[in-house]
A and B are shown apart, each in its own frame.
Chain A
């Protein structure tokens, strides 16, 4: 048995050497054929709904770009894997995309934890990566190759506080935070700006991911009697929260954020969703041609409504395509520089993207949407650069 293993090792080594010799030179990708873009999102596991939406939208972007003639006269190819929203899988996938598939750039269509695990691998390899909707601050802090399309969590939290204090005129607020990267960083941004606006925080609670029973916490909120509740969470927690709030007779404005932004939220919460206001990157009532095109094409292709997660993944692919075109090459450093230099980019569903900051955060309007008649509609648009630019 031992001898067999030895033999196997020798064979493996021989193949390895052979393969190394046959491998093309340092050139990361052939100058002909499709331009490869790496992509990962959770298409199985608890986050499968978001991951599927992101993947479908990225594929839609690629096919639309290819139908219009591709980039630099070459078609784009999306190389994608399922990371199940797990950091260990995401880092293995990042290595595979870079080393085996030789992608020129990457898009994360995954959650913050998985995206944070993949980012350093792209950074070290010198390959640019764009995070679609993972909004934890640490992601872009990884290094100069890592960009973001979604609005940074702390900025979105700040916009949430602005919405409550200056648009809705609330004075006393309660905060309900989902206890993960996403929720905590949103709440950090919210609290910082709430303090500047002089809002009084009358209650602050955290709850775990996947919670379905909010009744005891709603009882506490009722006793604290706030003017409004800032509640972070994803569509399933949000649907339970707002339904149970109605059941328990909690009659205050609930303000959410992009985690609610899915047609599933309205389907699950039903009439209880009416009047809920969220901050998000996708304005469904937008008159912009690029936004309308995405919403129509997504519906036509997949026979379901698009969401913010999908729009962000779609936009991440468009940002890369635009950067490759502007760079005039598939050289990763040239692509990186072109993303950083992006100005007033209109071909994105959640745009326009005005510019990237030195810390690789996109500056763009943030939308507040209200649920009315079973659909998200525009409530307020925040375009003040001082408010929406990451500090």
Chain B
């Protein structure tokens, strides 16, 4: 029954969107910066995961190292670049961010880093089993994507709702200045926010690399704009909205292709959904008016 197969495939695809977009949504929530370079963090995460996997042949170690390295990279981008632009008009960090993204992509494409070729990341399903019912089947790789996404989302949820710094993040996302005035350590909150969001992007990079068995310097091009479509759909800065929008977009893309074929490239479908949303519900699915 292809309906359930398409459904399960779409949920897996949506999971890869979730990890990428939630991190971006977190950054937007606090600083209101359109952080295009988030996609560069994703690519660097995938690249570091590839290196670690090549040396140690362990998916879990690759994922862990890639997440930490991506998190550090995110914090460095914040402290080294955005920090000096917090009071500037919002186009300033946006342009800096585009510059960073292009720079990292071009740098990664150099021969001494990744070169122009796609590299295989043959981690398979990291030893997980595959799953089959009469209605649909999941490969071990797909189970890996679902499992890692679910675990990371639970961790992020607990961090943001059960810890002091998480509550500080929520306060800062509502009103940064007011949160600072009542004693939230904004620097710490923002740095943690970048670390966490970027670590998720790194995890997304590694997972997509394993899922498609391919890591390459320009793999961030697509998520660089697709993640934005998702956070606008979800309601800028709303984390539940981002999750719902990721799944919804993947469902629309897959079912449209499966039913009528490629009337439009999948990315064009995403933009179409975005335009419809902006016309009829400009504050997004779960955003506040």
Residues on A lying within 8 angstroms of B by beta carbon are 43-46, 48-49, 51-52, 179, 205-208, 210-213, 215-217, 219-220, 222-223, 235-236, 239-240, 243, 247-249, 264, 267-270
Q: Say whether A52 contacts B118, CB under 8 Å.
A: no
Tell me, yes or no, whether B129 is within 8 Å of chain A by CB. no
Q: Say whether B261 contacts A205, CB under 8 Å.
A: yes
Which residues of B sit under 8 angstroms from A211, Cβ to Cβ?
A: 265-266
Which residues of A sit under 8 angstroms from B109, Cβ to Cβ?
A: 44, 48
Q: Say whether B6 contacts A219, CB under 8 Å.
A: yes
Which residues of B sit under 8 angstroms from A213, Cβ to Cβ?
A: 9, 13, 253-254, 266
Q: Say whether B262 contacts A205, CB under 8 Å.
A: yes
Number of A-B pairs, beta carbon distance below 8 Å: 84
Which residues of B sit under 8 angstroms from A208, Cβ to Cβ?
A: 262, 265-267
Tell me, yes or no, whether B103 is within 8 Å of chain A by CB. no
- Interface SS majority for chain A: helix
Which residues of A sit under 8 angstroms from B117, Cβ to Cβ?
A: 48-49, 264
Q: Say whether A216 contacts B9, CB under 8 Å.
A: yes
Tell me, yes or no, whether B255 is within 8 Å of chain A by CB. yes
Which residues of A sit under 8 angstroms from B262, Cβ to Cβ?
A: 179, 205-208, 217
Q: Say whether B116 contacts A44, CB under 8 Å.
A: yes
CB distance from B66 to the nearest CB of A (A): 19
Not counting A44-B116, A208-B267, A217-B257, a sample of 11 additional A-B residue pairs whose C-beta atoms are within 8 angstroms of each other reads A44-B106, A49-B116, A208-B262, A213-B266, A215-B254, A216-B254, A217-B262, A219-B2, A219-B258, A247-B141, A270-B213
CB distance from A270 to the nearest CB of B (A): 6
CB distance from B224 to the nearest CB of A (A): 13
Q: Say whether A236 contacts B2, CB under 8 Å.
A: no
CB distance from A391 to the nearest CB of B (A): 30
> A270–B137 Cα gap in the complex (Å)?
21
Q: Say whether A48 contacts B116, CB under 8 Å.
A: yes
Q: Say whether B120 contacts A270, CB under 8 Å.
A: yes
> A185–B222 Cα gap in the complex (Å)?
27
Q: Say whether A264 contacts B218, CB under 8 Å.
A: no
16 sample A-B contacts, Cβ–Cβ < 8 Å, listed by A number? A49-B116, A179-B262, A206-B262, A207-B265, A208-B262, A212-B214, A215-B5, A215-B9, A216-B254, A217-B258, A219-B5, A220-B261, A239-B118, A239-B213, A248-B5, A249-B137
- The 8 A-B pairs at the shortest CB distance, nearest first, are namely A48-B116, A208-B265, A216-B258, A216-B257, A215-B9, A219-B2, A216-B254, A49-B117
Which residues of A sit under 8 angstroms from B58, Cβ to Cβ?
A: none
Assuming the A-B contacts A267-B120, A270-B120, are A243 and B213 also in contact, with contact meaning beta carbons closer than 8 angstroms in the complex?
Answer: yes
Q: Say whether A222 contacts B2, CB under 8 Å.
A: yes
Partner of B122, one of A48, A248, A270: A270
> A45–B254 Cα gap in the complex (Å)?
28
Which residues of A sit under 8 angstroms from B258, Cβ to Cβ?
A: 216-217, 219-220
> A243–B141 Cα gap in the complex (Å)?
12
Tell me, yes or no, whether B187 is within 8 Å of chain A by CB. no
Please, which residue of chain A has its CB at the minimum distance from the CB of B8?
Answer: A215
Which residues of B sit under 8 angstroms from A45, Cβ to Cβ?
A: 218
Over the window 241-263 of chain B, the binary record of Cβ atoms lying under 8 Å from chain A Cβ atoms (1 yes, 0 no) is 00000000000011101100110
Partner of A264, one of B118, B141, B261: B118
> A207–B116 Cα gap in the complex (Å)?
23
Name the residue in B117, B137, B141 with the highest tally of chain A Cβ atoms < 10 Å from its Cβ.
B117
Q: Which residues of chain B (201-247) have a CB below 8 Å from chain A?
A: 212-214, 216, 218, 222
Please, which residue of chain B has its CB at the minimum distance from the CB of A270?
Answer: B122
Q: Say whether A43 contacts B116, CB under 8 Å.
A: yes
Q: Say whether B266 contacts A247, CB under 8 Å.
A: no
CB distance from B165 to the nearest CB of A (A): 36
Q: Say whether B265 contacts A236, CB under 8 Å.
A: no
Tell me, yes or no, whether B91 is within 8 Å of chain A by CB. no
> A247–B9 Cα gap in the complex (Å)?
11
Q: Which residues of chain B (2-37) have a CB below 8 Å from chain A?
A: 2, 5-6, 9, 13
Which residues of A sit under 8 angstroms from B161, Cβ to Cβ?
A: none
Partner of B6, one of A206, A216, A236, A243: A216
Please, which residue of chain A has its CB at the minimum distance from the CB of B118?
Answer: A236
CB distance from A209 to the nearest CB of B (A): 8
> A240–B209 Cα gap in the complex (Å)?
12
> A206–B264 Cα gap in the complex (Å)?
10
Partner of B116, one of A52, A240, A247, A268: A52
CB distance from A193 to the nearest CB of B (A): 24
Which residues of A sit under 8 angstroms from B139, Cβ to Cβ?
A: 247
Which residues of A sit under 8 angstroms from B218, Cβ to Cβ?
A: 45-46
CB distance from A273 to the nearest CB of B (A): 11
> A210–B214 Cα gap in the complex (Å)?
12
> A52–B109 Cα gap in the complex (Å)?
12
Q: Say whether B118 contacts A49, CB under 8 Å.
A: yes
Which residues of A sit under 8 angstroms from B213, Cβ to Cβ?
A: 239, 243, 268-270
Which residues of B sit under 8 angstroms from A207, Cβ to Cβ?
A: 262, 265
> A240–B213 Cα gap in the complex (Å)?
8
> A51–B109 Cα gap in the complex (Å)?
13
> A267–B117 Cα gap in the complex (Å)?
11
Q: Which residues of chain B (96-117) have a CB below 8 Å from chain A?
A: 106, 109, 116-117
> A208–B106 Cα gap in the complex (Å)?
24
Which residues of B sit under 8 angstroms from A215, Cβ to Cβ?
A: 5-6, 9, 254
Q: Say whether B9 contacts A240, CB under 8 Å.
A: no
Which residues of A sit under 8 angstroms from B9, Cβ to Cβ?
A: 213, 215-216
Which residues of A sit under 8 angstroms from B222, Cβ to Cβ?
A: 210
Partner of B118, one of A51, A219, A268: A268
Which residues of B sit under 8 angstroms from A236, Cβ to Cβ?
A: 118, 214, 216
> A45–B106 Cα gap in the complex (Å)?
9
Which residues of B sit under 8 angstroms from A210, Cβ to Cβ?
A: 222
Which residues of A sit under 8 angstroms from B265, Cβ to Cβ?
A: 179, 207-208, 211
CB distance from B266 to the nearest CB of A (A): 7
> A235–B119 Cα gap in the complex (Å)?
12
Please, which residue of chain B has its CB at the minimum distance from the CB of A240?
Answer: B212
